Each structure stands twice: as C-alpha cells, then as structure tokens.
C-alpha cells in the first residue's frame, strides 16, 4: 500500500499547470503553481536526484501563508524528472548555472521581479546563478554551507564517492543498475530523515522510492553528484547582490547551524531563519516552517 502524503489536501488546492521550454538544447519541463497575476514570482530549484514533486509541500504551504499571492515555478533540472539532459554542457554547477540563467530570462516577471530559490544542491546552483545578476531576492533552503568533502559527514561522503566510482567503472547497464539500487536509496532516505512521526517517515521513504532514481542516465548522475560534493554556496556568496534568505534547519547534519552562521556573513545582504526540530529534509518534514520564513522574506 502506498504511503499517503500528509500534504495532499493542501497540494490539491493550489492551481498548477505544466509548461515547457527549450533551453541550451534541453527539453525543459516545469510546473507553474499559482496565478499569473500573483504579487510575487519564485523560481525554485530542487536538490540532487529530486524533481518538482519534492518542493510541492513548500509550495502548498506558501500559497496559504502569503496573503498577497505567490506564483512558484518549479522546473525539473536537466537530466532529472521529465527534463532531458543538456546535450552540450556538463551537468555540473557551471552547466546548471547557464541553464538557470536562461530559464530566468524565459520566465522572469517584468513587473514584480523574480526571486530565485534552491534547496540543498539547488542552493549551490541558485547562488552561482544569482552571482552578479539583478534579482529581487535569493532564498536558500538547507543551503550547502560547506563542501561535503570537508563537511561533518565526510566519512559517509567518502563512502558515497566510492559507490559512485564503482558505478562508473562497471559497464553502462550494470553501473546504472547499481546507481538505481533500491537498498541504497532506502539507506540514504533513512540516514537523512529526522522526524519521529512514523507515518511521515514512511511517506518520505515512499517519495524517495518513487523519484530518487528518475535521473536520465549514468553520465548525468555522476556529473551532478561530483558537482554536489565538490562545491558549496560560499564559493559564490560574495558576488550576490540580491537580498538573501538562508532557511537553515536546527538538526541538519549535512549543513549544520554553525556552518550556516559562518555562511551568513559571506553575503553582502543576508538574513537567516532557523526551522526547529528538523534536518536536511525540511521540505518534507517542516514545509510550513519553510513557507513562513519565505513569506516573511517576501514581505520585507
């Protein structure tokens, strides 16, 4: 039996339409949540191995949290979900940055301006894309404050690196099968979940089972994984001129609070909100808290 989503009733209330655009040779699919005449427009990038589904709980809570109305555009990153890979660029920070800037040019609001947001690895891409650009704002949820190769979970990161290297050395079919191994998916899901709510944990694991392995092929995932463990938000923070919000999580052991406080000082204009009693899966475990933090930022 499929674990029911605790956020399904809220998600169903938000008007949504599918759209597509050709960007850098990638057939880019995205969802538009909310009305076109909303007072605020956000482009929200998901994390590694995710797609638009993972951000829907935040979007649904954000719609209810902000009285002036918010439109949120959530693309599937190239090579993940329903978006095709980049044919001429690598699926790394530089490649995704160029794609994100093209996406912003295609969907930006000419009247209200656009806020760019990103979760986890999406926070790295969003910050890189925002560097030196004119944006209304930048929102980073569970931002990667320290490279995983130098972070607090370095031992687990090294194991993950070895796992991906093994997948790279195998023949294509066997390597892809290893990367899509459901036991590995479940182990990663268990390691990241912090909630004590058993029903919520079951749903989180079910979400990862459904969407964690929707990457297009081995090349895409290996390139994106290498970028995710080798970079952090701080590399690009000093060149971000837009007002910035860091949405940190109290129990995030991938991006712990002390590193978030250090990251905060690297932005020219930034503030931070800490969501209590949650970890790196704040988009699943505490989407209401994340939405309230973003709503307050929009009203600044």
Q: How many residues does the chain have?
A: 300
> What local confidence, expressed as pLDDT, does residue 67 receive?
55
How many Å from the N-terminal Cα to the C-terminal Cα in the chain?
A: 44
What structural domains does the chain harbor? 8-298 (3.40.50.1820)
> What local confidence, expressed as pLDDT, does residue 288 receive?
97
CA angle 106, 293, 275 (to 5 degrees): 125
The answer to whether the CB of 230 falls within 8 A of the CB of 213 is no
Residue among 75, 81, 62, 96 nearest 18 (CA)? 75
State the residue for tokens 């990862």: 208
> CB count, 10 Å around CB of 253?
15
Which tokens in the block code for residue 130? Answer: 């925002």
Distance CA(220)–CA(85), nearest Å, equals 7
Q: What is the pLDDT tens value at each position of the chain, 300 positions in all? A: 567 899 999 999 999 999 999 999 999 999 999 998 899 999 999 999 999 999 999 999 997 655 568 999 999 999 999 999 999 999 999 999 999 999 999 998 877 789 999 999 999 999 999 999 999 999 999 999 987 666 666 777 888 999 999 999 999 999 999 999 999 999 999 999 999 999 999 999 999 999 999 999 999 999 999 999 999 999 999 999 999 999 999 999 898 999 999 999 999 999 999 999 999 999 999 999 999 999 999 988
Residue among 143, 148, 147, 108 nearest 244 (CA)? 143
> What local confidence, expressed as pLDDT, does residue 154 receive?
72
State the residue for tokens 């209401």: 288
Q: In degrees rounded to 5, what are phi and psi of residue 214?
A: -90, 15
Burial of residue 276 (number of CB atoms within 10 Å: 0-12, 13-18, 19+):
exposed
């Amino acid at each position: 039996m499929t674990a029911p989503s605790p956020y399904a009733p809220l998600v169903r209330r938000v008007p949504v339409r599918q759209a597509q655009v050709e960007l850098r040779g990638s057939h880019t699919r995205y969802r538009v949540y909310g009305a076109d005449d909303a007072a605020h427009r956000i482009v929200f990038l998901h994390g590694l191995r995710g797609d638009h589904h993972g951000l829907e709980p935040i979007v649904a809570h954000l719609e209810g949290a902000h009285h002036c109305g918010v439109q949120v555009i959530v693309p599937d990153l190239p090579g993940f979900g329903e978006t095709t890979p980049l044919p001429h660029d690598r699926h790394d920070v530089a490649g995704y940055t160029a794609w994100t800037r093209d996406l912003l040019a295609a969907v930006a609001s000419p009247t209200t301006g656009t806020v760019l947001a990103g979760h986890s690895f999406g926070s790295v891409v969003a910050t890189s894309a925002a560097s030196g650009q004119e944006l209304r704002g930048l929102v980073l949820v569970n931002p990667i404050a320290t490279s995983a190769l130098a972070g607090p979970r370095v031992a687990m990161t090294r194991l993950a690196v070895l796992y991906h290297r093994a997948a790279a050395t195998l023949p294509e079919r066997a390597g892809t099968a290893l990367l899509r191994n459901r036991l590995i998916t479940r182990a990663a899901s268990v390691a990241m979940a912090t909630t004590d709510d058993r029903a919520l944990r079951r749903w989180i694991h079910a979400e990862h089972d459904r969407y964690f392995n929707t990457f297009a092929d081995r090349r895409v995932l290996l390139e994106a994984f290498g970028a995710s463990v080798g970079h952090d938000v701080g590399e690009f923070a000093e060149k971000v001129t837009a007002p910035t919000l860091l949405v940190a999580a109290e129990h995030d052991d991938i991006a712990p609070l002390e590193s978030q406080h250090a990251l905060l000082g690297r932005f020219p204009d930034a503030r931070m909100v800490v969501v209590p009693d949650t970890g790196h899966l704040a988009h699943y475990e505490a989407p209401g808290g994340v939405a309230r933090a973003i709503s307050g930022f929009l009203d600044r």
